[in-house]
Amino acid sequence: MSTPVPVPNTPQLLSAAAPLREAAVPLPLADVLIQDHFWTPRLQVNREQGIDIQYGHLQDVGALDALDFSHPQPPLPIPVINNNQVTPVMWWDSDIAKWIEAASYSLETHPDPRLENLVDDAVARLAKAQQADGYLNSYFTGREPDKRWTNERDWHELYCAGHLIEAAVAHVQATGKRTLLEVVERYVALIAQVYGPGPGQKRGYPGHEEIELALMKLYRISTNPEHLALAEYFVNERGQQPAYFDLEAVARGDNPASFAFGSNEYAQAHKPVREQNEVVGHAVRAMYLYAGMADLAAELGDTDLLAACERLWDDLTTKRLYITGGLGPSKDNEGFTFDYDLPNDTAYAETCAAIALVFWAQRMLAITGDGRYADEMERSLYNNVLAGVSLDGRKYFYDNVLESRGDNHRWDWHPCPCCPPNLLRLLTSFGAYVYSRTESQLWVNLYVAGEAQVQLAGQDVRLKVQTEYPWDGEITLTTELAQPATFILKLRIPGWSQGAALTVDGQAVDTQNDQGYVTLTREWKSGTEIRLSLPMPVQRVWAHPAVRADAGLVALQRGPVVYCLEETDVHQHLHQVVLPDTSEVTAHFEPSLLEGVTVLTAQGRYDLPSENMALYSSTPPGAETISVTAVPYYAWDNREPGEMRVWLRRS
């Protein structure tokens, strides 16, 4: 591989403050062992089924072959979606990259020579497809090379580049092989030549954000300040006036006013990011942007940028987030509309958006140490994210409704298959979300059976965890270390939990917590046993009165898990089912149902038409008492097709 090309006019860093706090970084995947009755089967299916299935799809659709330019590849017909021209193959490179990233995470925890050979082949194809100047995009190189860098608003060059960067970072960390890393280093050098504030450069940025957070990952393994500078440029330039997307449209002969999605809010480019107060536009783009902003704020000690992230977080979680951790109610823009607009039967709640929310939440948690970010990370993981894939790992949801008449089902693949490889990479890297650490602290963010290994106080420390979470709130943690040592253990008390109890070697410990974490500072010995009890009663949840779609309705939650009704259990039309406020809801575990779940049962009411009842009547309908069974939302649509509802009528 040749030496990276020089980078003239590299954007200079605008900030140079100290990091915001001691970074709480995830543990390396190889140092986290998951032996959990809930997560292990899902991770195993993802690894043993999902990786091969998705590789087969990439072969079948021609994504891998598109990297071979030995034969002409004529421009494809451009399909129209929502009056916007979209060419699926424009983001094939991102699908390949996410697959490589996921496979690399898998190799880090489960070495597999066969899989490594497949990854090596995909990397070799990408390296061969790279152009002499460093450019790497199979669509534009193979089909429309004259349109490079002409439409960042609608097309996906920088988005695909970002995923290639993330894949390269994961690949070198898992295997030590630098081939893909060297490829993306050359590509990033070219991008830094094209975009920036210098003479002859484009004052542009991506329409679909992603490269910002990817560049931060690249910077952290390379320590190359040019990568940090480019990430900062993309974040700071976004939304500056005159609007780059409008100038770009005029330059290619388009009318900016004819943009199918109305305004630059769609891509969060309507104003500079530090001035943004509301979460707007395309949901996935927004979450990726905010994750990149959080990374940059942490690295540069940029309190203004962090403040923008916190304002946007508050806007999302107080006005625009589904109970399942889904976000973005509208199919029209795959994103946000207005405050408290959270329809259930038309919810979009794209799987990718919930995954990207997990990324953002993890970063905000690392910066602030505030458990509210872990709460939302957990909410999305156990609900919207897991609902995106079937229990057998073969079918996927793109959008995640909270109410269905029975016509919503997962699919094998999709014209825009961004969600399956996104799920694949999140689940193969799941261990990175369970624990985090600083120089002297180990944080337990999620309660998952298994163990963590970490260097603290100059020696190896193992923390073993036993639990049946999320079905049971009893958690036992045991320390193993060669010599007694003093360090800090931080245990999360979830926001949904009330009445938590904690003991260390049988002695009660106050669960008074700081921002959702109990801090245990002591000299630890091998065999010290910590018992944390998180009561898990069934909770009725009511929406804010401004949420029209949920007026007069109630949802059920137990621990982090949100529940729903399915027609196959209730055998009735679900909109006619009423859950009285006075009905006791009980929980019990069903080991043979949906691979083992805790179900909720209650006595409900079923509204029936009275005899000869007209379409409209001055007398109320009749009713009968029925048994109501609720199952976890993530597991719906894995049995007989039928209706589904999260929000239930109440009396």
Catalytically active residues, by annotation:
334, 418
- Evaluate whether 650 touches 605 at the Cβ level (below 8 Å): no
> In 130-169, which positions are buried (b, 16+ CB within 10 angstroms) versus exposed (e)?
bbeebbbbbbbbbbbeeebbbbbbbbbbbbbbbbbbbbbb
Task: Give first-to-last CA distance, the chain, whole Å.
Answer: 69
Alpha helix segments (H runs only) across 82-178: 92-109, 113-129, 138-142, 157-175
Structure tokens at 395: 């079918």
Q: How far apart are CA 515 and CA 521, in angstroms?
A: 16
Which of 228, 223, 224, 226 shows the shortest CA–CA distance to 213?
A: 228
108-to-79, 103, 428 alpha-carbon distances in Å: 39, 9, 9
461-to-30, 111, 296, 432, 550 alpha-carbon distances in Å: 14, 24, 31, 17, 48
Structure tokens at 309: 């992230």
Q: How far apart are CA 422 and CA 356, in angstroms?
A: 9
Q: What does residue 115 show for φ and ψ, rounded to 5 degrees? A: -65, -40
621-to-194, 613, 634 alpha-carbon distances in Å: 68, 8, 33
Which of 204, 253, 208 shows the shortest CA–CA distance to 230?
A: 204
56: which residues sit within 8 A by CB, 6+ positions away? Answer: none
Amino acid symbol at 268: Q
Q: What is the CA radius of gyration of the chain?
A: 25
Structure tokens at 597: 């779940």
Structure tokens at 195: 């975009």
Q: How far apart are CA 533 and CA 475, in angstroms?
A: 6
209-to-174, 254, 287 alpha-carbon distances in Å: 25, 22, 9
Structure tokens at 601: 């049962």
Structure tokens at 194: 């094209």
> In 87-124, which positions are buried (b, 16+ CB within 10 angstroms) versus exposed (e)?
bbbbbbbbbbbbbbbbbbbbbbbeeeeebbebbbebbe
CB count within 10 Å of CB 508 equals 10
Q: What is residue 622's three-state secondary structure?
A: strand
Q: What is residue 83's three-state secondary structure?
A: coil
510-to-43, 66, 372, 506, 513 alpha-carbon distances in Å: 35, 60, 20, 13, 8
- Evaluate whether 460 touches 481 at the Cβ level (below 8 Å): yes
Q: Residue 31, Cα to own-chain centre: how many angstroms?
A: 22
Which of 169, 181, 183, 178 shows the shortest CA–CA distance to 220?
A: 169
